[in-house]
Structure 1
Amino acid sequence: MIRIACRLLLAGGLLGLLMGCSPLKVLNAFTPGGTFTRTADLGYGSDPRNRLDIYTPVDAPADAPVVVFFYGGSWNSGSRTDYSFVGEALASRGIVAVLADYRLYPQVHYQGFLDDSARAVGWTRQHIREYGGDPDRLYVMGHSAGGYNAAMLALDPKWLATVGMKPSMLSGWIGLAGPYDFLPIENPEVKPVFYFPNSPPDSQPINHVSAASPPALLMAAKDDTLVNPERNTGGMAKQLRELGVPVRELYFSKPGHATLVAAFSRPMRGLAPVLDEVVRFVHGQDRTR
Structure 2
Amino acid sequence: MLNTTFRLALLVALSFVPSLALAQSATPGSSLKKDILYRSEEGLDDYAKKQCRLDVHYPNTKGFATVVWFHGGGLTGGDKAIPQYMRDQGYAVVSANYRHNPQVNAPVYIEDAAAAVAWTFENIESFGGDPEKIFVSGHSAGGYLTSMVTLDKRWLAAHKIDADRIAGAIPHSGHTITHFTVRKERGIDRLKVVVDDLAPLNHVRKDAPPLLLTTGDRNMEMTGRYEENAYLWRMFKEAGHPDCKLRELEGFNHGNMVQPAALLMKTFVEAHSSGK
State the TM-score bracket (shorter-chain normalisation): 0.7 to 0.9
Pairing 1:125–2:106 present: no
TM superposition shift of 1:229? 3.3
Unaligned runs of 5+ in 2: 1-10
1:84 aligns to what SS in structure 2? coil
The corresponding residue for 1:218 is 213
TM superposition shift of 1:191? 3.9
Alignment of structure 1 residues 170-209 onto 2, 5 Å: 170-182=166-178, 185=180, 191-193=183-185, 195-197=186-188, 201-209=196-204
1:203 aligns to what SS in structure 2? coil
The corresponding residue for 2:6 is none
Instruction: Check conservation: 1:177, 1:227, Cα contact below 8 A.
Output: no
Change over 3 Å in CA distance of 1:200–1:236 after alignment to 2: closer
2:51 aligns to what SS in structure 1? coil
The corresponding residue for 1:280 is 267
TM superposition shift of 1:232? 1.9
Alignment of structure 1 residues 124-273 onto 2, 5 Å: 124-182=120-178, 185=180, 191-193=183-185, 195-197=186-188, 201-222=196-217, 223-245=219-241, 246-261=243-258, 263=259, 272=260
2:197 aligns to what SS in structure 1? helix
Alignment of structure 1 residues 39-54 onto 2, 5 Å: 39-45=33-39, 46=44, 47=48, 48-54=50-56
Instruction: Check conservation: 2:177, 2:195, Cα contact below 8 A.
Output: no
1:139 aligns to what SS in structure 2? strand
CA distance in 1, matches of 2:119, 2:268: 23
Question: Which deviates more, 88-97 or 64-73?
Answer: 88-97
Matched to 2:160, the amino acid is G
CA distance in 2, matches of 1:285, 1:237: 19
Instruction: Check conservation: 2:137, 2:170, Cα contact below 8 A.
Output: yes
Unaligned runs of 5+ in 1: 1-5, 11-26, 264-271
Pairing 1:71–2:71 present: yes
Pairing 1:96–2:92 present: yes
Question: Which deviates more, 198-207 or 147-156?
Answer: 198-207
The corresponding residue for 1:24 is none
Matched to 1:37, the amino acid is S
The corresponding residue for 1:266 is none
Question: Which deviates more, 238-247 or 65-74?
Answer: 238-247
Instruction: Check conservation: 1:31, 1:84, Cα contact below 8 A.
Output: no
CA distance in 2, matches of 1:139, 1:151: 11
The TM-score, its normalising length taken from structure 1, stands at: 0.77
Change over 3 Å in CA distance of 1:181–1:192 after alignment to 2: closer
The TM-score, its normalising length taken from structure 2, stands at: 0.81
Change over 3 Å in CA distance of 1:164–1:182 after alignment to 2: closer
Deviations 1:53-88 (A, max 9, x none): 00112x4x30100110001111000000xx332xx4
Instruction: Check conservation: 2:105, 2:182, Cα contact below 8 A.
Output: no
1:259 aligns to what SS in structure 2? coil
2:82 aligns to what SS in structure 1? helix
1:196 aligns to what SS in structure 2? coil
2:87 aligns to what SS in structure 1? helix
Change over 3 Å in CA distance of 1:56–1:211 after alignment to 2: same
CA distance in 2, matches of 1:182, 1:278: 24
The corresponding residue for 2:57 is 55
Instruction: Check conservation: 1:181, 1:231, Cα contact below 8 A.
Output: no
Matched to 1:56, the amino acid is Y
Change over 3 Å in CA distance of 1:153–1:234 after alignment to 2: same
CA distance in 2, matches of 1:227, 1:214: 27
The corresponding residue for 1:14 is none
TM superposition shift of 1:276? 2.4
